[in-house]
């Protein structure tokens, strides 16, 4: 069983000691289990790897280190005390800013700031495969600060990840209600889109002068599948949980009757401060670049005027039920 200290004294001591040398020492600990004194009631949950984690029965100070975990807790009506930047962004994920408000940033996606996390004094930390990606050393460091639950895998079904988020927060019934509301939204939307049964729908992330495809395992692909909308042959498959680059000589692979086209601005996982925008203004700039690439103007979606510019943080990244609800709403709006 993985346990983390719940006492204020223990967590402050960890926060103050996390320097570069301290991180190395913690990462080198031989025992992966941490014995803790638990203040108040606790319960045991199972993470995505099958590990048992002891968590507070009613966590109050939650830190989330990915888009799916931030999305999930907000969908449950819980505001975390800290989060990380959205993928390809230097702020919280753009698509959920209206719900996230002024949640403090505790580092970048895939690069959490352990000192800030310790100082935030969480009683629960949520991670998944889109953030620290099962990094054993980082998981050990986080577990030394507070109970840490790995709720999902990169490319995993958002419903499974969200259900584990709800379980960690002891809100399983509420989580089931959120999923049921999404399923009803999909059923209503699908009934209004019957006229598009024979058309294909491409999802493209344009970044750095070239394209990448969003395949079926990512949220946008899952939303299209849920709605019964077809993908182009080159995109009608699963990938490895992230967008798949397309060489310019194979640009035809991004084509479809319709194309949802977005970008994540100038920043990236490796360069969190590069700036850029994730909203449709970023897509507009990327689109102007794309049409200058030889072969783009030959694409049928371009020639038929059926390229839809979208918020890349919504369409080309990851999230949870809020993202899925907004994807479906975007599709209905675009197709009328």
3-state SS track over 155-208: CCCHHHHHHHHHHHCCCHHHHHHHHHHHHHHHHHHHHHCHHHCCCEEEEEEEEC
Q: Which of 134, 306, 121, 80 is nearest to 204 (CA)?
A: 306
Characterize the bridge pairing of strands 201-207 and 258-262: parallel
Residues 148 and 193 in one domain: no
pLDDT at residue 252, rounded to an integer: 95
**Is the separation of the CB atoms in 179 and 321 below 8 Å?**
yes
Cβ atoms of residues 213 and 246 within 8 Å: yes
Query: What confidence score (pLDDT) does residue 82 get?
Result: 98
Q: Going by C-beta distance under 8 Å and a sequence separation of 6 or more, which residues neighbour residue 188? A: none
Question: Does residue 201 share a domain with residue 162?
Answer: no
* Domain final residue, candidates 171, 197, 227: 171
Domain co-membership, 192 together with 165: no
Residues 29 and 70 in one domain: yes
| Domain membership flag for residue 51 | yes
**C-alpha distances in Å from residue 215, one per residue of 79, 201, 203, 235, 238:** 31, 11, 8, 5, 6
The beta-carbon contacts of 14-20 under 8 Å, at least 24 apart in sequence, are 14/118, 14/144, 14/145, 15/115, 15/117, 15/118, 15/119, 15/121, 15/145, 16/118, 18/114, 18/115, 18/118, 18/141
Domain boundary among 118, 142, 171: 171
Burial of 10 (0-12, 13-18, 19+ CB in 10 A): middle
Q: Which of 171, 202, 220 is the last residue of a domain?
A: 171
Instruction: Indicate the pairing of strand 258-262 with strand 210-213.
Output: unpaired
**For position 172, what pLDDT does the model report?**
98
Point out the residues of the chain with pLDDT beneath 50: 1-38, 267-276
Q: What is the pTM of this model?
A: 0.85
Give a yes or no: residue 153 inside a domain.
yes
Number of C-beta neighbours around residue 31 at 10 A: 7
* Domain with 31 in it: 8-171
Q: Which element (helix H / strand E) includes 140?
A: helix 136-145
| Structural domain total, the chain | 2
Q: What is the pLDDT of residue 93?
A: 93
């Amino acid at each position: 069983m993985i346990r983390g200290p719940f006492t204020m004294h223990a967590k402050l001591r960890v926060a103050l000691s996390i320097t570069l040398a301290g991180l190395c020492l913690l990462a080198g600990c031989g025992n992966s289990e941490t014995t803790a004194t638990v203040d108040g009631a606790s319960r045991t949950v199972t993470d995505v790897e099958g590990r048992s984690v002891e968590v507070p029965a009613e966590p109050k100070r939650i830190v989330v280190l990915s888009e799916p975990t931030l999305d999930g807790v907000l969908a449950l009506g819980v505001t975390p005390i800290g989060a990380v930047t959205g993928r390809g962004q230097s702020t919280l994920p753009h698509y959920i800013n209206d719900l996230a408000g002024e949640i403090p940033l505790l580092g970048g996606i895939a690069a959490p700031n352990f000192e800030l996390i310790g100082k935030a004094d969480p009683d629960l930390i949520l991670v998944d495969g889109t953030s620290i990606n099962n990094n054993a050393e980082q998981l050990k460091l986080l577990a030394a600060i507070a109970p840490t639950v790995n709720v999902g895998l990169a490319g995993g079904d958002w419903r499974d990840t969200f259900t584990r988020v709800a379980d960690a927060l002891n809100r399983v019934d509420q989580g089931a209600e959120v999923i049921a509301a999404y399923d009803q939204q999909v059923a209503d939307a699908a009934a209004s889109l019957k006229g598009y049964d024979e058309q294909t729908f491409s999802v493209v992330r344009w970044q750095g002068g070239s394209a990448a495809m969003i395949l079926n395992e990512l949220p946008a692909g899952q939303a299209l599948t849920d709605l019964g909308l077809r993908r182009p042959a080159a995109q009608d498959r699963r990938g490895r949980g992230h967008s798949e680059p397309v060489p310019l000589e194979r640009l035809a692979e991004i084509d479809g009757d319709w194309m949802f086209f977005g970008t994540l601005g100038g920043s990236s996982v490796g360069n969190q401060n590069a700036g850029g925008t994730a909203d449709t203004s970023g897509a507009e700039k990327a689109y102007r670049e794309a049409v200058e690439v030889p072969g783009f103007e030959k694409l049928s979606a371009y020639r038929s005027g059926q390229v839809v510019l979208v918020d890349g943080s919504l369409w080309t990244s990851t999230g949870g039920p809020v993202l899925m609800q907004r994807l479906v709403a975007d599709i209905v709006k675009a197709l009328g």
